[in-house]
Structures are given as structure tokens and as C-alpha cells.
Amino acid sequence: MLAQDSGRSIKAVMAVHNETSTGVTSRIGDIRKAIDRTRHPALFMVDTISSLASIDYRHDEWGVDVTVAGSQKGLMLPPGLSFNAISDKALAAHKTARLPRSYWDWSAMLAANQTGFFPYTPATNLLYGLNEAIEMLLEEGLDNVFARHDRHAEATRRAVRGWGLEILCLNPAEYSSALTAVMMPPGGNADALRKIVLDKFDMSLGAGLSKLAGKVFRIGHLGSFNDLMLMGTLAGVEMGLSLVGAPHHKGGAQAAIDYLAEAAGRPDITVGPKRSAA
């Protein structure tokens, strides 16, 4: 489409790094290269709400123009803060843009940020939490954080396959390390599963959205999460499948245990944010 847009009517290409409703992680660097091959000047804008600080992401290196992020996922905070990273190209476009704006205007924010301030009253209490969250992430090491989520995603997929269920995402290169969307077996209702898991085990699984409604449930494994929290989660799913009488094999949780135990034997893994930390 970009190649055919000789009139340059397309202003931006927008992508979601980690698609929360499907458990698909887009290959942002490759999308950038595809844009570049067309020599089209469109901006490249990426939503990293459910990936940032759980899945590796590189605003500068991958040539993204505008990145949007939030506090409530990988940054392990309550919702209430949002972030933008912007390239020089995006900033230049901002200066000439004619869409009316006020709150969303970067100029006021950039001017105030110079001295550490905000043009409007920010959610100050979350800034204290953000400071602590960043310290926790750097203490564990970002590479270790990403490897931990990769490990939990792989353990989850092994559980799903152990149950004989299908992962919604078909391309292994795009498996999400933040969440896994699982196809409910034919005849089953994913929302009935979600309801019984909430009622009986106080665990909230993600729902399938729009055309996946009732057909898919989602298992989150992002942010502040460790091996035992994942095992509680997977046990809850396996028990829920049993309770709703969904056709499945036992042994999914066992497959995750076996994988995690083996992984834990490696010297380089990290545990995640520690309960016992002071």
C-alpha cells in the first residue's frame, strides 16, 4: 500500500508491538525495513503498552518514530501513567501538523520536562512507584527480565500442548512472551471456563475479543511474575478445563513443571521480583 501511495496520502504506519488480544508479537524491526524498502516517508508509530519492560523493544535501533507505553503492565504499576518516545522526524512532523490539539501537544510537555516538570498535574504518586519499578528492573537486568518472560511463555505453551489445545498464534517467530491466547476446544465456551476459574479460584483470565469472543481465553505472564505464580496460574486453567468438562488431556501443568525445573538448573536464570526483598 505504501508503494502504491504515490500521492503520499498515508501519514503513518501504526503497529502494536504485543497484541494483547491475540498473543502475537509483531516484528517491529522487520516492519521498519519493509517501510524503508518502499522509500515512503510515512511515520512509524508503535504501541508497546503490553510489551514494554517484559519483551525486548528498541525505539532508536529499530527506527520507530513514536512509541506509546503505559505503567500498568511490564512496569508493574497501577494504571495511570502513559509515555511517549518520539524521533526527530516525528517531532518535525508535530511542528507542522495542523490537527487541532491541546492536551496531546508535545511542545508544552517538552518545554516543562526540561526542568523536570509537567505542563499539567501528573499522577504524582505513580511517579514514586515508577522510580522503584525501574530500579527493580535494572537490578534484575533487562536481559534477564526478558529471558524470564520468554521462559514463562515457553512453559505456558508446553502446558497448552500438554492439554492438547491450540495456541492462537500460529507463527512461532511471533509468539508473545507477555501472554498466550489459547483456543477453547470445539464445543467448549471460553467464557464459561473464565467464569468458573474466577468463581472457584479467584483468578481472572483474559477474554477473547470481537470475533474470538467465547472461543479464546488468555493467560497473562508479564510484569511482576515468577515460576510459582505461573504454576498456580496453569494449575488453575487445568482445573478449570476439568470443571467445565472441556475435552483435554491432563498433564499440561506437569509439562510446565518439567520444563521450568530443567530451566531452573541453569546458572543464569533469575527469579523475578522477590517476595523476600526488603
**Residues engaged in binding a second copy (CB under 8 A):** 70, 72, 78-80, 99-100, 103-104, 121-126, 128, 131, 198-204, 226-229, 231-233, 235-236, 238-239, 242-243, 250-251, 253-254, 257-258, 260-262, 264-265, 269, 271-272, 274-276, 278
> Cβ closer to a second copy: 9 or 103?
103
Q: Which helix (H) or strand (E) holds 202?
A: none
Considering beta carbons, is residue 88 or 262 the nearer one to a second copy? 262
| H or E element at residue 46 | strand 43-47
Distance CA 164, CA 188 (A): 14
- Report the residue number, 56 or 140, with the smaller CB distance to a second copy: 140
**Nearest-approach distance from CB 53 to a second copy, in angstroms:** 16
218 within 8 A of 182, measured Cβ to Cβ:
yes
- Closest separation between CB of residue 6 and a second copy, Å? 25
φ, ψ of residue 79 in degrees (nearest 5): -65, 155
Q: What are the DSSP calls for 61-94, one per residue?
A: TTT-SEEEEESSSTT-S-S--EEEEE-HHHHHHH
Q: Closest separation between CB of residue 3 and a second copy, Å?
A: 27
Residue 124 C-beta: closest distance to a second copy, Å:
6
**Distance in Å, CB of 158 to a second copy, minimum:** 13
Measured from the CB atom, the residue of 78 and 247 that comes closer to a second copy is 78
Which contacts of 188-194 are long-range, i.e. CB under 8 A and separated by 24 or more positions?
188/244, 188/246, 188/247, 189/214, 189/244, 190/214, 190/215, 190/216, 190/217, 192/244, 193/217, 193/237, 193/240, 193/241, 193/244, 193/246, 194/240
Q: Quick count: other Cβ atoms within 10 Å of Cβ 42?
A: 18
Residue type, 145: V
Closest to a second copy by CB, 32 vs 149, is 149
Q: Choose between 100 and 186: whose C-beta lies nearer to a second copy.
A: 100
Angle at CA of residue 46, ends 44 and 52, nearest 5°: 145
CB 141 to a second copy: min, Å: 16
Would you say 31 or 77 has its CB closer to a second copy? 77
Q: How far is the CB of 277 from a second copy (least distance, A)?
A: 9
